[in-house]
């Protein structure tokens, strides 16, 4: 289980699995954005910052997937 991205007011963030993010769930963005360390160099903070910059909003990690 990973840690999931959400806006600071609790709205979920979605991913296309290719490094792109959206605040809207749709056919392209249907995976809850979560960080899971795959390689030793993977960085949760860099992942959060990339998503935050793409969306133009501050993001945080939450323990549970969006419902």
* pLDDT tens digits, one per residue of 16-58: 989 899 999 999 998 888 887 777 888 889 999 999 999 999 9
Q: How many domains does the chain have?
A: 1
In a domain, 65, yes or no: no
At 60, is the pLDDT very low, low, confident or very high (cuts 50, 70, 90)? Answer: very high
Helix (H) / strand (E) containing 61: strand 59-62
Separation in Å, CA 36 to CA 27, 56, 60: 22, 23, 15
Q: What is the extent of the structural domain holding 13? A: 3-60
In a domain, 47, yes or no: yes
In a domain, 48, yes or no: yes
In a domain, 17, yes or no: yes
Which two structure tokens, joined as six digits, stand for 14? 């979605």
Helix (H) / strand (E) containing 46: helix 44-55
In a domain, 35, yes or no: yes
């Amino acid at each position: 289980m990973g840690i999931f991205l959400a806006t600071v007011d609790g709205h979920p963030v979605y991913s296309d699995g290719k490094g792109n993010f959206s605040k809207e769930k749709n056919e392209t963005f249907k995976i809850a954005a979560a960080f899971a360390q795959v390689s030793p160099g993977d960085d949760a903070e860099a992942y959060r910052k990339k998503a935050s910059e793409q969306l133009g909003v501050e993001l945080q990690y939450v323990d549970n997937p969006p419902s």
